[in-house]
Amino acid sequence: AQSVAQPEDQVNVAEGNPLTVKCTYSVSGNPYLFWYVQYPNRGLQFLLKYITGDNLVKGSYGFEAEFNKSQTSFHLKKPSALVSDSALYFCAVRSLLTGKLSFGAGTTVTVRA
């Protein structure tokens, strides 16, 4: 079975500081990894994905993620956080067979002004 884990329930940073949201994965074979963001009372919005290729993936809103095979990690990063980045972030892994996404538990990011 494939899964992802988000070890932190909450991440708090000051505006302008770097933001990192951690994710580790457990899959057999090559992983297809995703990050989604959920703003309050909204649906899930796609941020970025890793399928193959460069380990550093760039996505929406200035976010990027680094795929690290040796550490089985796919951490989400933003060099300079904004208050508007405050949201719930989900890491997910995709089944190659069905396309089903399996989500991590989510990390609540709070960026203070």
The residues of the shown chain that bind other proteins, judged by CB under 8 A, are 32, 34, 36, 42-46, 49, 51, 90, 94-95, 98-106
In the bound state with other proteins, the residue whose beta carbon lies nearer, of 8 and 70, is 8
Tokens at 4, concatenated: 């992802």
Report, in Å, the least distance between residue 57 CB and other proteins. Answer: 12
Smallest gap, in angstroms, from Cβ of residue 4 to other proteins? 11
Judge whether 13 and 19 are in contact, CB under 8 Å: yes
Tokens at 82, concatenated: 């904004």
DSSP-based three-state secondary structure for 16: coil
Kindly list the distances between the CA atom of residue 72 and the CA atoms of 35, 55, 110, in Å, as whole numbers in the listed order: 15, 12, 26
Nearer CB in complex with other proteins: 28/98: 98
- Our CB check for other proteins shows the closer of 24 and 102 to be 102
Distance between CA atoms of 111 and 96, rounded to whole angstroms? Answer: 35
* Distance of closest approach, residue 102 Cβ to other proteins, in angstroms: 7
